[in-house]
Structure 1
Amino acid sequence: MARDWGKNASKVRGKLGLRCSYRRTALLICSINIVIALYVLRCLYASLYVFSSSREPSSNVVTYTPDQISVLEESVRIRNVAEPEELVRLVKQLEKKMYGEATVELLPPLKWKITDHILELLKGLNATATTGEQREAVESWRKEKLREADQLIAENATSQSNFSADEAGILKLALGTGWAYLSEEIGLWIPMEVVNKENDDKPEGEEEIEDEVLPGRPLPRECHAELHTDYDGMAVRWGLTHHKDSAADCCQACLDHAKYAKPGEKKCNIWVYCPSETGCYSPDMYEHKNQECWLKYAEKPKLNFKDRYSVPYRNAHPNAPLVVPWASGVIG
């Protein structure tokens, strides 16, 4: 009996030892897995931290609030839905009938060269030059360049011209039958001069009639309207979905916004209006249309653009016209 009991005890101890070795092995494997998992989680956290740090906006990058982003997205959706596709198609057909083959696109270098020549011509005129004199100077320049183009085509030589023989053919088309289209492309617009009758008696001391006026009713004095001007500022009302019939109505909207602003709300002190029927250029991603009215606020208003876009700016932005199309004013 004692011998049998000893044999059974040794068997039990062997089984217990085997079980203990299994448990130790399992615990060791689980420990290794936990260590590996913690290491992987640490690596993932570190990579996410580096990625988020690299995505942090710098002080020079404009950031938008979620409300502003939602307004942008909604305005884009509204414009896409309201896009008059049939009207756009008809306008393109009409444009082809009006300009014909003259609607050929100029290469940017040639377009910039023509624009720079016209700009230098206008800068060289007397500051008191009337719109009629400006128009006559541009027309004389156009005719002179047409003669140079004919000479270049006939002689196939550059001679004294500022343009090459290769540019002569397209230059003749652009300055000839395509002049109206080219003028619109480069943003050249000289208003028609108001001609008074010779027998009209003008009272002494009366101010001269301005060559260019904004369409619509006259603007109040507190609007401080400035033609061909674009002021910078934080938008308190987006012009993409805020249209007014005239610049005076846009200014009045700014005055009303400032008058009825809630406590703590930014009050409008800048209005920016697009009076051009063909829309107004802006370097952003949107197509700005006629009658857009932007209401803005700035503690110290400063200009974005004034009168004409500079040559370096137009070189960097080929679609920019010659003249700033916006009208603006600072109230208060």
Structure 2
Amino acid sequence: MARGEWGYYNGRTKWCSYRRTTLVICSINIGVALYVLHTLYNSLYTYPFNDPQKAARYTPDQVRKMEESNHIRKEAQPTELIKLVDELKKDFSREEKKLDLPSHLKHQVIDEIVQLLRSLKSSNATVQNEAIERWRKQKLKEARELARGNSISPTILPKEAKILVKALKSRWDDFRDEIGLWIPVAIPNKEHDDKPEGEEEFDSEILAGRQLPPECNTERHTDYGGAAVRWGLTHHKESAYDCCQACLDQAKNAREGEKRCNIWVYCPSEGGCYSPDIYEHKQQECWLKYDEKPQVSFKDKYSESYRNSHPNAPLVVPWVAGIVSV
């Protein structure tokens, strides 16, 4: 091969070397990559969904159909059911927010109110409410002092005093409902007024529910006193049998130091049961009580002298009671 031809091939080899080829390919790749990035960057500003007018274009007929669909969907909603559910939620929420006042403190408050109303010797609702309001303000003042630690009480702890302050101040209405405090309108109980004066047919009445066992020592038309183990206003049972059984169960399961039920008092009357206190006692009330030496409060009939001083008292004692024997 001539020298000239060799020089030609040698020059072409240098021009097409691997280094030059690599640089060319890399340059092309970089150019392609820059172009792709440029395209993606521009698409962020030109993508239709960034412009609501370009995102979707609907015809008037399509818009009308969508509006009709939304209207039908709203009309199909169970609005009454939703309202009912909301009310139930509020009721559950209200139940959850009940005051966690210790039972001994709750009973202490109830006893104070009962003693206050008895001392008034007046059945006028206005007088009673005014007296209760004065008591509430005085009790609230005492509870605040206890909560701050400025005074000491053998029965109320500072922590309990804080709950009592809340009950007497911001939750007074709820607390009244919880303890059953309200001033009822006196309505004479006509339950047995249609019987002749001397009629003695007490045992002819039939108590609903299962037959009571001997250990209940059932006494009809009888009311016993005693310290309340379970407050009957909020403790209802289907029958006298269930009430007696509740007393037996409480006595069996009572903790050490806790009063054990030995007296049960039940209201079987559909019209409610009379009692000389401020409460309206309704059917199925079940009072569990304790007394070291149980004593009868009323038996068979209310005396004529008692009914003269208590015009609302019926002729016959409506309660059923018993002293349990375990």
Check whether TM > 0.5.
Answer: no
TM-score (structure 2 length as normaliser): 0.43
Q: Which has the larger radius of gyration?
A: 2
